[in-house]
Amino acid sequence: MQKADEFIQALALEQHVEGGYYRSSFTSQSRFDDKRALWSSIYFLLRTGEVSHFHRLTADEMWYFHAGESLTIYMIAEDGELTTAQLGLDLAAGERPQFLVPKGCIFGSAMNQSGFSLVGCMVSPGFTFDDFELFSQESLLAEYPQHEEVIRRLSRPQD
């Protein structure tokens, strides 16, 4: 069985500002507009104790499970409803190998067990950091105090 460090090295993954490790894998040669490709894709890896902190994109993001342990994607909709999706291969347990996170929703993820989780994420239109918003605990707690437990787990205090 492969280990997280083997994937990090073999795929040349780097630390991501939202947590975990990533590397751009493919970008469409077709253009959506003058700033963005039609779509882009990354590898994303979490290890034990790491999370993808709550953030928001202006585009849809499709997640694909590749290897390791399953993970939970936590999503806060514009109306404040918190929902989750299980990304993995245990279909009988409700996991799915792919899941779409809709644009405009605040989301993050965390592993369900120790180990690592390697996923792919495809964004359309293509990702740019101009379309990325990372949230602090304070801003989320002020807006969604009913979700305090998960907000504290998937966000950092403001610097």
Q: pLDDT tens, 17-49? A: 999 999 999 999 999 999 999 999 999 999 999
pLDDT at residue 98 is higher than 90: yes
Q: Is the pLDDT confidence value at 88 over 70? A: yes
Taking 80 as the threshold, does the pLDDT of residue 52 lie above it?
yes
The domain limits of the chain are 4-154
For residues 90-117, give the mean pLDDT: 97
pLDDT at position 159, please?
65
pLDDT of residue 147: 98
- DSSP sequence for the chain: ---HHHHHHHTT-EE-TTSSEEEEEEE-SSBSSSS-BS-EEEEEEEETT-EEEEEEESSEEEEEEEEES-EEEEEE-TT--EEEEEESS-GGGT-BSEEEEPTT-EEEEEESSSSEEEEEEEEESPP-GGGEEE-BHHHHHHH-GGGHHHHHHS-B---
Domain 4-154 coded CATH 3.40.50.300: no
* Mean pLDDT within 3-25: 96
Percent of the chain with pLDDT over 70: 99
Mean pLDDT of 94-98: 98
Query: For 108-144, how does the pLDDT look when each residue is reduced to its tens digit (9 = 90+)?
Result: 999 999 999 999 999 999 999 999 999 999 999 999 9
For residue 158, what pLDDT is reported? 83
Average of per-residue pLDDT across 72-97: 97
